Structure 1
Amino acid sequence: MVSADAAALPMTADDTVPLIALRGIGKHYGGGRGGPPPVTVLHGIDLEIHAGEFVAVVGSSGSGKSTLMNILGCLDRPSHGSYHFQGQDVGLLDADALAWLRREAFGFVFQGYHLIASETAQENVEMPAIYAGLHQDARAQRAQQLLARLGLEARRHNRPHQLSGGQQQRVSIARALMNGGHVILADEPTGALDSHSGAEVMALLHELADAGHTIVLITHDRAVAAQARRVIEIHDGRIVSDSREPAPAPREAALAPPPALAGSPAATTVWWADLREAARSAWRGMVINRVRTSLTLLGIVIGVASVIVMLAIGEGARRQVMERMGTMGTAILYMGSKPPVTGGPAGQLTEEDLQAVRELAEIRRVLPVIGDPVTVRYGSVDKQLYVFAASEEMPAVHHWSVAQGRFYTAAEDHDLAPLVVLGHKAWQHFFPDTPHPLGQQLIIGTSAFEVIGVMSERGAESGAQDYDDMVFIPYNAGRARVYQSQTQPDYVVVEAMSSADVHAAETAMRQLLIARHGGREDFGIGNAAARIQAEAATRQSMAMMLGLIAAVSLVVGGIGVMNVMLMTVKERTREIGIRMAVGARQRDILRQFLTEASLVTLVGGSAGLVVGLALGAVLIAVGVPVVFSVRAMLGAFACAVITGLVFGYKPAQTAARLDPVRALAGE
């Protein structure tokens, strides 16, 4: 029934060379410095097993038979002595080569079945082929065939708890045969079964032996052992009897010999296939442990969402500051006359001074301004308004647009044209019922000015007069018609080429004017742009600080991942041992648990992105300035994944370094 692996191929060229040869094998535990005294389990075991033999090792509990099986199956190493497989010294193999040998040459059948509880029967059977690199479709087909031949086709999607003991043991036998099962190591395979199920398992082992498999049966039951073709009795770690005939007779039909050890370092797996399988197993574990997974994810979600929202709020606040204060110009300086610190009268800023400043390479525009409260009248309505006399460059310097009509031109300023542009509030005050006041006449002081435009609504600057409650007239017309006694501008607005040139422009202006004023610094320069930049930098620093505070929650989430992964390793110690027994290498186990940690953070990071965007949308709806940054979102997501890898590495490394024998014995 289970002769799927029979190939009618010859054995090795020399049948006299034993498949397994033990010489002076001893095993003891303990004896380390400061530890318990050594306990010797095996004493100088000499044993040869040829291909195709059906051997039973019988002995009472504690006789050392299970330890012997672990050494035969490369799950454990002897304390001394030599073990040769196909004539090659197993003691010279590293951990990966031993895993390869377990995967390609051995198949294990345990008393406790050792099936992974979260996997189906078919997935348990497929496991050795996963680590052998067999394609998914091919291994699924082979697993189905094996289960069908063992009478479990209808149960292949059941999990272990849905199977009887006998059915679980047959799944274990199918798993042992998945990669060929040249050598079947069966440790008390009938010990946990009723007599009927035990008889079925023994019948299967006989069929495997007839098909050419090498069977090593470990048992304490002499009746079970008697069914083997060779019985070895072990007592207190020593072989006391062996029923082996003088020379084993070669079988005419046997399995192809196990692969040579020379091929052991070769890796046949494809990394993405391994990763896919690790992700599938990790996802199933997350689903099974929903509550714990959710609590772990919560820390990552909070961390990612906090970073995104905090940085978005900080960026929104920074841009709001730049937008509000930037209407003054992010490259603006103010210049005016003042007495020098050494004493004496205030200086005079002449037209020649202003022209010289305009010619500096660092300067884009120079805007002289005269302004004072003046009585403005329209018909019977009058009001004291700030009359702002400046050149045609005022809207460009202040980044301010005209809502109606137009602004005056340089030619009109040169010609002293009596034109006026209204601020938004001035328009509403004088012309509340006139949607388009263009062409109307205002009396400013004693002179008539024609309305040619209305500025857009701007609002008051912090600590400054309300710009919307002003009127704007040409600089030269203002001097000639309103401010006749004014000999120089009240102040001068200077725009640097860019915000990066502000400090250089300030230095160049100061040096130029000191030279023109005979070495006297009888003027002052105020760096408004520097204040704006300082405010923006402060806001940015606050945003970064908020982001760093939020990032702490990511670290906390990472610590949660590490704690959960450490707990997972402890809970799944036996599963790790099972995976190692069927051929998983240390890097396979490491990849498995790193993938689980990464998957947790990937899911948590994705959920955090969604939550962060949702919270941001709520804040925008209630009027909080929020600006999302793709870089911040990608950075938060990447940090979450990196956090999972960093904090998941130690638990994964712990799992990969577990001793297979101790792992199999773990709970």
Structure 2
Amino acid sequence: MEVPVLSDRLPLISLVDIRKHYGGGDKPRVEILHGISLDIHAGEFVAIVGASGSGKSTLMNILGCLDKPSSGRYDFAGRNVADMEADELAWLRREAFGFVFQGYHLIATETAQENVEIPALYAGMPERERAERAQALLTRLGLGERLHYRPKQLSGGQQQRVSIARALMNGGRIILADEPTGALDSRSGEEVMRLLNELADAGHTIILITHDRDVAANARRVIEIRDGHVISDTGVLQPSLANTAPAFKLEADASQVAWRGDMLEACRAAWRVMWVNRFRTALTLLGIIIGVASVIVMMAVGMGTKERVVAELGAFGTNHIYVRPKHESSKVPGRGISVGDLEAIGDIPQITYVLPNLSGNKVVRYGNQDVQTRIKGSGAAMARMLNWPVEKGAFFSEEDNQRMATVAVIGPRLAQNLMPDVENPVGETVLIGNVPFQVIGVLVSKGAVTGDQSDDDLVVIPYSTASMRVFGERDPSYVTLEVGDMKQIDAVAKAVDDVLFSRHQIRDYGMENAAGWIAAQAKTQDSMSIMLALIAVISLLVGGIGVMNVMLMTVRERTREIGIRMATGARQRDILQQFLTEAVLVTTVGGVTGVLSGLAIGVILVFWGMPVIFSLSAIIGAFFCSVITGLVFGFMPARQAAKLDPVVALASE
């Protein structure tokens, strides 16, 4: 920006026919100032005196660039203030003016030192330097032992001195004091006026707004205003004395320094606000925490379930093709999968083994115990093909199959239910129907349950025995084909289809392969995981809406604080940054807590036996989604705060 520079003859402040009105249109028009014209030179101690409602406070707000005139011209050091942008006006309030308000206008959550540091903070002064300067000013004003007191812990006179120290923080070449003694006892009022006189003697330009003529008598020039008109002016300082005030200078990169250096201060202030309103903050955090934790837990459970399903299916081999007759055709005599079909399929080069299977439910008896369970007739290669070894004993051999041996391998749960008092079932005899079978092995537990049946209740016997002595059927219920090269499984499936279709002339059979099952199950689990994640994201969005509502409420509650910050030089982007930082900090804390909660819940689920696999991408994604939620939903309230009119914000309760 173009920096104002004072000359010997140029008035510091020049008002020409300044008018101010409120209302108009649908509202009654109220004229406050009626053509005020006056000049104020650097180094003057001016008192503007008038009764309540005379327009003196409105005039002060215009002088301090907190408000704009409805018409007229206001030149500061020769430059028309109306041509200045918002950031330039903020620079004037920060670098040129220092405000001393009747109501002190200190930020309640900040200490005396922190209140004094605010103008330097927005000017980009380094932290150590501004702390030293604030301490020096407060010590000079007799508050050296109360640096860390909050406004409520200070008397009215002490708060006013803090306000004066804040006005001097950036140099305060022009002090605008609005009824500085109005809320003080006589002794404190005298102290404040003594300080203002000392500042005037030191070359500061003092503009005192008061209704008290005795207070105004301390000034070297008194301007009386009544009903928006200047009715008297005791005189003007000679222009030749204007050079007692130095030119105003602005470092070219001050705004950049402030933007980079204020982030830590914005986080500190945001954390303090969160702590002061911790119950409300906790309720706001709850939505974010639930959303983030839900994303992590649901994705972890989804991935764990998918891994378990794939592992269980993969345990039966992924290089298998399953062929079974269709339900309707299998009831027609001569239809289904015949022994001749098995021989024809076995001639396909890539098929390394053809395993017929025959299954059904039968009653199994041992002593006085009987259990109805699933009986499966299969070949000796079943244990190898399905990766299903025995825990005790041995699996039957191909020789047992050829000679229709009455031997059986049973599941561990069936052994427990059927022979609760037998430590080792191997060697015991059971009845399947009316046929006695010798138990030669106990299968390893699979743990898989389908409906009321479990693989651990299965009885496996040789296929020939099942066909001739148990079920009385030669044709298998289904056939398992082992493919030598997994990459050729689709080609082999087509070859099997060609063989069967040429023999049957109709597709009265169906084919599936384990790889297809696994892919289908994985796709189903992925869909479930996405659905669960979307539900979690919705809860995260609900949390974001909660953040926006709380931030809007915060803006309303802290409107005066926003006005104070603007009066001490905060730009719109400083206010935007402050409130956006608060929103992001809330969601960041919620995100971290949500991640920790999600991990803790996941660990608990692991102890409960749930399949859980944590996804680093889900954790990082959920956390950054919470941060982005703060940015998105915090922007509107932050922008609303940044757009507030300084004078309106200061007047709010």
State the TM-score, normalizing by the size of structure 2: 0.82
Matching residue of 2:480: 493
Residue 317 of structure 1 and its aligned partner are, at CA, apart by: 4.9
> Among 6, 18, 22, which residue is 1:29 paired with?
22
Aligned partners of 1:79 and 1:61: how far apart in 2?
21
For 2:67, the aligned partner's letter is D
Alpha-carbon separation, structure 1, partners of 2:312 and 2:221: 94
> 1:479-524, CA deviations, whole angstroms, 9 ceiling, x for partnerless residues?
99999x998765322468999998x569625653356438543543
Residues 132 and 268, structure 1, Cα contact 8 Å, conserved in 2: no
Match of 2:289 among 276, 297, 301: 301
User: How is 1:238-257 mapped onto 2 (pairs within 5 angstroms)?
Assistant: 238-245=229-236, 247-250=238-241, 254-257=244-247
Q: Distance in 1 between matches of 2:349 and 2:378?
A: 19
One-letter amino acid matched to 1:46: S
1:396: how far off? Answer: 5.4
Aligned match for 1:566, one of 552, 567, 586: 552
Aligned-residue offset at 1:170: 0.8
Question: Does the residue aligned with 1:583 lie in a helix, a strand or coil?
Answer: coil
Q: Does 1:258 align with 2:248?
A: yes
Q: Distance in 2 between matches of 1:182 and 1:514?
A: 101
The verdict on how the C-alpha distance between 1:507 and 1:657 changes in structure 2, with shifts beyond 3 A counting, is farther
1:105 corresponds to 2:96: yes
Q: Distance in 2 between matches of 1:274 and 1:558?
A: 25
Change (3 A) 1:136 1:246: closer
Kindly state the Cα deviation for residue 268 of structure 1 after the two structures are TM-superposed: 3.4
The structure-2 alpha-carbon separation of the partners of 1:390 and 1:160, relative to structure 1 and needing over 3 Å to count, comes to same
Matches within 5 A, 1:297-376: 297-319=285-307, 321-322=309-310, 324=312, 327-328=315-316, 333-336=321-324, 345-346=334-335, 348=338, 349-350=340-341, 353-355=344-346, 357=348, 359=350, 367-369=355-357
Is residue 2:216 matched to residue 1:225? yes
Moved more, 287-296 or 198-207: 287-296
2:125–2:258 contact (8 Å) kept in structure 1: no
Q: Which residue of 1 aligns with 2:186?
A: 195
Of the three residues 573, 579, 593, the one matched with 2:579 is: 593
Taking the aligned partners of 1:62 and 1:229, their CA distance within structure 2 comes to 24
**Contact 1:353/1:516 (8 A) holds in 2:** no
**1:60 aligns to what SS in structure 2?**
coil
Deviations 1:409-458 (A, max 9, x none): 99x999999998944448888999786979x999999999996x764222
> Offset at 1:374?
11
SS at match of 2:256: coil
The Cα offsets for residues 330-355 of structure 1, whole Å up to 9 and x where unpaired, read as 675421457979x9943645456434
Change (3 A) 1:143 1:376: closer
- State the 1:579 CA deviation: 0.2
CA contact (8 A) 1:423 1:456 kept: no
Q: State the distance in 2 between where 1:298 and 1:385 align.
A: 51
2: CA distance, partners of 1:527 / 1:204: 93
Please tell me whether residue 15 in structure 1 is matched to residue 2 in structure 2. no
Query: C-alpha distance in 1, partners of 2:360/2:108?
Result: 87
Tell me which moved more, 369-378 or 132-141: 369-378
Distance change >3 Å, CA 620–CA 466, structure 1 → 2: closer
Q: Tell me how far apart the structure 1 counterparts of residues 355 and 624 of structure 2 sit (CA, whole Å).
A: 49
State the SS of the aligned residue for 1:17.
Answer: coil
Alpha-carbon displacement from aligned partner over 1:166-189 (angstroms, at most 9, x marks no partner): 111111111011111121111111
Among 559, 567, 572, the residue aligned to 1:581: 567
Q: Matches of residues 414-425 of structure 1 in structure 2 within 5 Å? A: 422-425=409-412
Determine if contact 1:370/1:491 at 8 Å carries over to the other structure: yes
Match for residue 525 of structure 1? 511
The partner residue of 2:227 within 236, 256, 267 is: 236
Shift of 1:663: 0.4
- Residue 379 of structure 2 is aligned with which of 382, 385, 390? 390
Equivalent positions of 1:258-657 (< 5 A) are: 258-259=248-249, 267-319=255-307, 321-322=309-310, 324=312, 327-328=315-316, 333-336=321-324, 345-346=334-335, 348=338, 349-350=340-341, 353-355=344-346, 357=348, 359=350, 367-369=355-357, 386=375, 388-390=377-379, 392=381, 394-395=382-383, 397-403=385-391, 422-425=409-412, 455-459=443-447, 462=450, 467-468=455-456, 491-494=478-481, 504=490, 508-509=494-495, 511-513=497-499, 516-517=502-503, 519-521=505-507, 523-526=509-512, 537-538=523-524, 541-623=527-609, 625-657=611-643
Which of 161, 166, 174 is residue 157 of structure 2 equivalent to? 166
Greater alpha carbon shift after TM alignment, 112-121 vs 202-211: 202-211
- In structure 1, how many angstroms separate the alpha carbons of the residues matched to 2:420 and 2:213? 116
CA distance 1:490–1:662, change in 2 (3 Å)? closer
Task: Give, in angstroms, the shift of residue 408 of structure 1.
Answer: 9.0
SS, match of residue 517 in structure 1: helix
Q: Do 1:282 and 1:592's aligned partners in 2 also have CA atoms closer than 8 Å?
A: yes
Partner of 1:662: 648
Instruction: Using the TM superposition, name which of 424-433 and 656-665 deviates more.
Output: 424-433
CA distance in 1, matches of 2:80, 2:214: 34
Q: Provide the identity percentage.
A: 54
Counterpart CA distance in 2 for 1:331 and 1:236 is 98
* Aligned-partner Cα distance in 2 for 1:631–1:13: 60
State the distance in 2 between where 1:651 and 1:185 align.
Answer: 31
Q: Distance in 2 between matches of 1:417 and 1:13?
A: 116
Letter in 2 for 1:15: D
Displacement after TM superposition at 1:562 (Å): 2.4
Q: In 1, are the aligned partners of 2:350 and 2:492 still within 8 Å (CA)?
A: no
Task: Tell me if the contact between 2:160 and 2:180 (Cα under 8 Å) persists in the aligned partners.
Answer: yes
Q: 1:164 to 1:460 in 2, by over 3 A?
A: closer
Which whole-Å CA distance do the structure 2 matches of 1:658 and 1:289 have between them?
Answer: 23
- Whether the 8 Å CA contact 1:26–1:45 is kept in 2: the answer is yes
Is the Cα contact below 8 Å between 1:365 and 1:397 reproduced in 2? no
Larger deviation, residues 104-113 vs 606-615: 606-615
SS in 2 for 1:44: strand
Q: CA offsets, 1:346-378, max 9 Å, x none?
A: 364545643465538xxx976444678999999
- Corresponding residue for 1:214? 205
Counterpart of 2:207 in structure 1: which amino acid?
Answer: V
Alpha-carbon distance between aligned partners in 1 of 2:640 and 2:482, rounded to the nearest angstrom: 64
Aligned-residue offset at 1:125: 0.3
- Aligned residues of 2:359 and 2:374 also touching (Cα < 8 A): no
Distance in structure 1 (CA, Å) of the matches to 2:37 and 2:374: 113
Query: Residues 466 and 207 of structure 1: is their aligned pair in 2 closer, same or farther, counting only changes over 3 Å?
Result: closer
Alpha-carbon distance in structure 1 between the residues aligned to 2:11 and 2:256: 28
Contact (CA 8 Å) 2:404, 2:465: kept in 1 or not?
Answer: no
Q: Which amino acid aligns with 2:192?
A: V
Partner secondary structure for residue 191 of structure 1: coil
1:88 counterpart (73, 79, 95): 79
Please list, as runs of the form range in 1=range in 2, the aligned pairs for 1:50-69 lying within 5 A after superposition.
50-69=41-60
CA pair 479-653 structure 1, distance change in 2 beyond 3 A: closer
**Does the C-alpha gap of structure 1 residues 309 and 213 become closer, same or farther in structure 2, counting only changes over 3 Å?**
same
Instruction: Give, in whole Å, the separation in 1 of the partners of 2:51 and 2:186.
Output: 20
Counterparts of 1:377 and 1:13, CA distance in 2: 112
Query: Does the 8 Å CA contact 1:59/1:233 hold for their aligned counterparts?
Result: yes
Q: Which runs of 5+ in 1 are unaligned?
A: 1-10
Alignment RMSD: 4.6
Q: Residue 357 of structure 1 contacts residue 512 of structure 1 at CA under 8 Å; is this kept in 2?
A: no
Q: Distance in 1 between matches of 2:7 and 2:235?
A: 19
